[in-house]
Chains A and B, each alone.
Chain A
Amino acid sequence: MSSDTAQYVNPVGQDLPRLEAREKITGRAEYSDDLSLPGMLHAAVQQSPYAHARIVSYDLSAALEVTGVVAIFTGDDIGYDYIGPFVHDETAIAKGKVRYIGEAVAAVAAVDQETARRAVALIDIEYEEFPAVLSIDEAMAEGAPLVHDNFDDLVRTYEADHAPNVMSLMQVEEGDVEAAWAGCDVVIEGEYETQAQCHTYMEPCSALADIDANGKFTVWSGNQSVFHLQANIAQSLDLPMSKVRCVTPRVGGAFGGKMEQTIQPIVVGLTRKAKRPVKLTLSREQDFEMIRSRHPSKVWMKTGAMKDGTIVARKVDIRLDAGAYGDDSPGVAGICALFCRGPYHIENVSVESRAVYTNKLRAGAFRGFGGPQVAIAGETQIDEIAGRIGMDPIDLRLKNAARPDEEWLGGLVLSKSAMRECLTQVRDASDWVKRRAAATEPLSNGKRRSIGIACLPHISGILTSGAIIRILEDGTAVLNTGAVDNGQGSDTVLVQMCAGALGIDVEQISLATPDTDSSPYNWGTTASRNTYMAGRAVVGAARSVVDQLKERAATMMECAPEDLEMRPGGFIGITGVPDAQVSYGDISGFSHWVAHGPVIGSDSLAFDGENFDPKRGFIKGFPFGRIGAWIFAAQAVEIEIDEATGKITPLEVWSAHDIGKAINPASVAGQVEGGVVQGIGFALYEEMVWDTGRLANPSLMDYKIAGTMDAPPNINTILIEEPDEFGPFGAKGIGEPPIVGIAPAIANALTHATGIRLKQLPMTPERVLNALQEKNEI
């Protein structure tokens, strides 16, 4: 080892550049569509022209006559082998019925892309069209056409009520809401609507599959969990999981959109028929139409408080437009219910949260996972209460903020909460009092400037992860976690933690790429959990490695393992005897060639923190088990509002996060900045629009995401580092929270400046102008 104990710098907490930064900035990074194999075929997909129809027949004859066509894959090539994380309702490709316009119905593999596209258009599919349900209200109406008429027969992991097209219902009851209203001095009630947001990762979905001589498939594709993907492919194509190997090249962003399968089962289906490698890469338009979105929602909410600012009661009815397939919808509806109280102590709460099938693109996981849908309702009602009782919105939030040891819904007890510190630090950093007071004055250019605030809860502890560390012969190490880095920097963070726990440099660790053949299980890069959950497994595996190194060093130095200590720089030494030490390289050589065997440390865990307590709170239909490692945030946004055009311009953002410990503060800031700007898009202009079942804006021209001229020049990341008791080096997650509070903070700033209160997102200039006009007419 080259490191010296005295010179060793622990990489944990350092702003190290990404491990893979060099390959990304030189163009060497390989994403799925950059890969090719000898004999590889190219695929193309035909999409459903109907929102709801029975597939009567396929006529493949014209397509098969095209020179260069090798295989065609349709619903006839599979059984009713359903997949889905909560309800098994989806097949590898449409079978029996199509349920949204744009759904994949047939795919062709051919010698080149042009041939595949030409041939797939020649597949003639006969449909029998059915009436479609295109909104939550239509879907829940009495006698509505059923998106899944066999719903009662489908495998589910949770209880569901039986109203038409309702796939899941979660209920929460705390205290007695109806009795509590009488004790309230202020009651605010409203219905809020949020839109479908597209993940718009820059890399459109792409997958490459190959088959070996024994019929085993290897799949390269962008994903958030090689393990989910392996299971989804195997189950939907009726293959043993041992015949499906999933690996991950670089992933060009995901944000939840690649959490479940995208197009991989189709590509494997084609590969199975062609017996040759097949690659499919979606066009941007197809990616918009075919993959998934954030759930559009309707949230009715009523909140009551006393004159002194004590929030007494909240009642909520949440309806999510889940689209045609279950996907993560029951989970998102559950999180909506769990988060809609906000990060506050409220004694009386009653919630019903439903996910509803419609004949539209399925909605699924998206950064925030239900948080944004309920935050716009909850956080604007808090501001309305503050306005009515004449209290500063931050003071009102501080008065009600969840405290350490707070009891959460369902009887969960929080281990820690830095909610109050988030609020006070945002207040100080943003010069809140001054900016808030100045906001009532119009500027010389006729515009108004204003600042608003919002808070949010999130979690980073859920489900299972593992890690394996092997010490190589020279004392360097290989880390393997199976955790996919979608671009957020988790690879670097996990290596920093591994290096820190072993007392060596990051350059001395090789990180294995996620591979279902060799990596330990990781549930997924989702729920802001990689740093927290995979990180805990890394630290656990490192602990095992150090124990094994000590055992071997004890043999080498003829002492007891208890007399030994780990020394920074890669040494095990006898405690109290500075000169008596052996390097990891010497120990590893000894263990490989003399005694004990190679050092291989591993760890695996399931989230074991906070748990629901049925004796303390009523919660029904929540489709996850234990959930916790709570993280809180407060976000303030200063905006400029042009009352002549209705345009809102975000000027500056302050975002404070209860992060436990920042393993790589620069990467954390990168997550906050990116999440904030996605939140601005959600607040102001991003919206997927359907016109009688057809997505009307499936392009980056018609679906706008923020560019350099739209994003605010200043985003201030504030980190509150109160170590989590169980987190690796005290760390918790950061991926999702930064998106959640932005829309309500902007809405609250808008109200403060103009008096108008928008309850529908996005807050486009048109909606702002209409509201201003309405106000002026009154």
Chain B
Amino acid sequence: MSEKIPLSLTVNGQTHQAFVRPTDTLLHVLRDEFHLTGTKRGCNQGICGACTVMVDGKIVRGCLSIATNCTNREITTIEGIEADGNLSPIQQAFLESGAAQCGFCTPGMVMAATALARTNDKLSDDQIREGLSGNLCRCSGYIKIVDAVRSVCGGDAV
């Protein structure tokens, strides 16, 4: 068992500190040290995407990212997506489209969709589906999730 070391991370613009093992994942530190439990652990193997967060604006798997590699970087989790207490356009679209069922994949899905929306491109359905292909949902069949993302960043069908 490796010694714990102090770690300081910037998450959603705030500094969080904890003693962690050098091998601890970002997902573990977010959930179990910082108690930011919006990020979900669905498989812990990098497949389901429920732990999707942003590091310096790029989406990563929290379960495949080593926390100690994330110092001096801007980490954004689902808890940091609302602006001034208002839902983001993607969140509002998820709400209106009925894109959340059990909700367990939803934080990761919102993060992936937010990254797509931030490209400012007008996306075809195929591009939206490709952009969300790293996030599994077992409830919805994806129709309403794609509907939600299309309503924010959809273009003319390609």
Contacts and interface: CB of A to CB of B under 8 A. Distances in A.
A202 B91 contact: no
Given A26-B82, A253-B138, A670-B98, A204 B42 contact: yes
B47 A676 contact: no
Contact of B138 (A251, A669, A674): A674
B39 interface: yes
A677 interface: yes
A701 B95 CA distance: 30
B143 A700 contact: no
Nearest to B145: A708
Contact of B39 (A27, A30, A489, A707): A27
A180 B50 CA distance: 56
B68 interface: no
B45 A17 contact: no
Residue of A283, A666, A669, A674 with most chain B CB atoms under a 10 A cut-off = A674
Contact of A699 (B43, B77, B102): B43
B153 interface: no
B50 A202 contact: yes
Nearest to A678: B138
Contacts of B1: 114, 118
Given A17-B96, A26-B91, A487 B142 contact: no
Given A22-B95, A203-B42, A487-B139, A673 B144 contact: yes
A324 interface: no
A711 B141 contact: yes
Interface in B132-150: 132-146
A517 interface: no
A28 B47 contact: no
Given A21-B100, A25-B110, A26-B82, A33 B41 contact: yes
Q: Does more than half of chain A's interface fall in helix, strand or loop, or is it mixed?
A: loop
Contacts of A480: none
Interface residues of B, number: 57
Interface string B91-119: 10011101111111111001000000000
Nearest to A253: B102
Q: Does more than half of chain B's interface fall in helix, strand or loop, or is it mixed?
A: loop
Interface of B: 1, 31-32, 35-45, 47-48, 50, 77-79, 81-82, 87, 91, 94-96, 98-107, 110, 125, 128-130, 132-146
Contacts of B132: 708
Residue of B31, B87, B106 with most chain A CB atoms under a 10 A cut-off = B106
Interface in A197-229: 199-204
Contact of A707 (B38, B96, B101, B136): B136
Contact of B45 (A15, A22, A27, A284): A284
8 contacts: A25-B95, A25-B100, A253-B104, A673-B142, A700-B48, A708-B129, A709-B130, A711-B143
Contacts, number: 179
A489 B87 contact: no
Interface residues of A, number: 60
A24 interface: yes
A705 interface: yes
B153 to A, nearest CB: 15
Interface string A101-137: 0000000000001100010000000000000000000
Contacts of B36: 27
B93 to A, nearest CB: 9
Contact of A666 (B47, B98, B130): B98
A255 interface: yes
A561 B31 CA distance: 57
B42 A202 contact: yes
A715 B77 CA distance: 32
B142 to A, nearest CB: 5
Nearest to B21: A114
Contact of A201 (B31, B47, B135, B138): B138
Given A21-B100, A488-B101, A715 B139 contact: no
Nearest to B77: A27
Contacts of B40: 31, 202-203, 252
Contact of B102 (A23, A281, A486, A711): A486
A359 interface: no
Which 9 pairs, one residue from A and one from B, show the smallest C-beta to C-beta distance?
A: A27-B38, A487-B102, A252-B104, A24-B103, A27-B78, A673-B141, A677-B141, A34-B37, A202-B104
